[in-house]
Amino acid sequence: MYISEKAPAKINLTLDVLHKRPDGYHELEMVMTTVDLADRIDLIHTSHSSITLESSSGLVPQDERNLAYRAAALLKEKLGVKDGVHIYIHKHIPVAAGLAGGSSDAAATLRGLNRLWNLGLSDDQLAEIGAEIGSDVPFCVHAGTAVARGRGEILTPLPPPPPCWVVLAKPGHGVSTADVFGRLQVDQIEKHPSTEAMIEAIQNRDYEEINKHLGNVLEPVTMEMHPEVRKIKEKMLQFGADGVLMSGSGPTVFGLVKKEARAKRLVNGLKGFCGQVFAVRMLGVRYQGVLDQIRTK
Ligand code: C5P
């Protein structure tokens, strides 16, 4: 018996850091939303009690360092599950990119195992367990659109942003989130985004206002290390993006456009200039449908 779960990528429409906390983490305020670019997680029931993991991508660890593996191990331990699982990750989301690929794989593993192992946990309970794995995992458990506060685990749901296209461009290299936060000097942040203005823009389904209020205080930090981020932003604007921003700790830059033809123009303009380029739809809600069922082989 096996279950498949989609693990969608997220982008940050805003990312603000309020202060550094005594526990070493940063107090955040972020507006995040899911986009239609997803990994697929197959969870295959095994009769032995161990957890094994494989991925279509050689870029992610295939052992206990993988966040999906950790999610399975934590759930097994907390709930005293005797069964095992083989996790297969079909990787489509760029790795170390600021798109929460690893966190979303962990979240999808929690959702899927909740069904495969018949645990009966609510999404809130899964999100609470997910918070022990990583700060973005609770958002990824719920998916959709939300304001995330605290370390990232305190979530307030929002309606989806209006439909549009999201062009994602990732430079050839990845970025370590811990490294970016480590270099951030909170007292030297020049411009904080307005979380409130972004919330209002989303609630009003106002595409122009959403573009106007995009902001990420980690962007200058990552740009300093990787100047390509600035160049990609400039190119995206040149090719007609309505708004551009780096997502999370980067280095992926996204551009928003209304029309598919313009999204294609951006993709063509950026191809060859940076590592990976995709045009995907803004999703803003959880995936529904065909994958959300148990299958028997
Ligand atoms: O929670 P997660 O393990 O995904 O975070 C990775 C790193 O990012 C942390 O070790 C920390 O350095 C940094 N971080 C932070 N404040 C947050 C979230 C992450 O400083 N709210």
* pLDDT surpassing 90 at residue 157: yes
Q: Is residue 288 part of a domain?
A: no
Same domain, 69 and 95: yes
Domain boundary among 144, 159, 174: 159
What pLDDT digit, counting tens, does each position of 253-283 carry? 999 999 999 999 999 999 988 889 999 999 9
Q: Are 87 and 43 in contact (CB under 8 A)?
A: yes
Q: Kindly state whether residues 222 and 257 are assigned to the same domain.
A: yes
142 and 76 in a common domain: yes
Q: What is the CATH number of the domain that holds 239?
A: 3.30.70.890
Q: Which DSSP symbol is given to 172?
A: S
Q: Which of 159, 178, 210 is the last residue of a domain?
A: 159
- Residues 213 and 254 both lie in one domain: yes
pLDDT at 147 over 90: yes
Q: Considering the domain boundaries, does residue 297 fall inside one?
A: no
From residue 195, give the alpha-carbon distance in Å to each of 13, 14, 290.
9, 7, 35
Q: Active site includes 206? A: no
Whose alpha carbon is nearest atom 10 of ligand 1? 178
Distance 180 CA to ligand 1 centre (A): 9
Q: Which residue, judged by its Cα, is nearest atom 7 of ligand 1?
A: 178
pLDDT for the residue numbered 173? 87
Kindly state whether residues 114 and 199 are assigned to the same domain. no
Strands 253-257 and 276-281: unpaired
User: Domain ends where: 116, 142, 159?
Assistant: 159
Q: Which of 6, 10, 91, 170 is catalytic?
A: 10
Q: Provide the pLDDT confidence category of residue 51 given band limits of 50, 70 and 90.
A: very high
Distance from Cα 11 to the centre of ligand 1, integer Å = 16
d(CA 25, CA 129): 18
pLDDT score of 290: 40
- Do 140 and 178 lie in a common domain? no
Place of tokens 């209020």: 213
Residue 69 belongs to a domain: yes
* Binding residue ranges for ATP: 94-104
Q: Which residues line ligand 1 (CB under 6 A)?
A: 25-26, 28, 134-136, 151-152, 177-178, 181
Binding residues: 94-104
The answer on 257 and 128 residing in a single domain is: no
Compute the distance from residue 28 Cα to the ligand 1 centre, in Å.
Answer: 10
Residue 289: which pLDDT band, with cuts at 50, 70 and 90? low
Q: What is the pLDDT of residue 296?
A: 40
Based on the domain organization, do 24 and 65 belong to the same domain?
yes
Angle formed at CA 186 by CA 152 and CA 133, multiple of 5 degrees: 25
Chain segment 92-141, per-residue pLDDT in tens = 999 999 999 999 999 999 999 999 999 999 999 999 999 999 999 999 99
Q: Which of 16, 39, 105, 136 is catalytic?
A: 136
CB 203 within 8 A of CB 159: yes
Closest of 152, 210, 158, 198 to residue 177, by C-alpha: 152
Q: Count how many Cα atoms sit within 13 Å of the Cα of residue 80 in the half-sphere of its side chain.
A: 0
- Given a cut of 70, whether residue 16 has pLDDT beyond it is yes
Task: List the alpha helices (DSSP H) in the chain.
Answer: 67-79, 101-116, 123-130, 137-142, 177-183, 195-203, 207-212, 219-225, 228-238, 260-270
CA quadruple 288, 291, 292, 297: dihedral, nearest 10: 170
Q: Are residues 21 and 155 in the same domain?
A: yes
Residue ranges making up the domain that contains 223: 165-281
Number of structural domains found in the chain:
2
- Say what percent of the chain tops pLDDT 90: 92
The C-alpha R_g of the chain, in whole angstroms, comes to 19
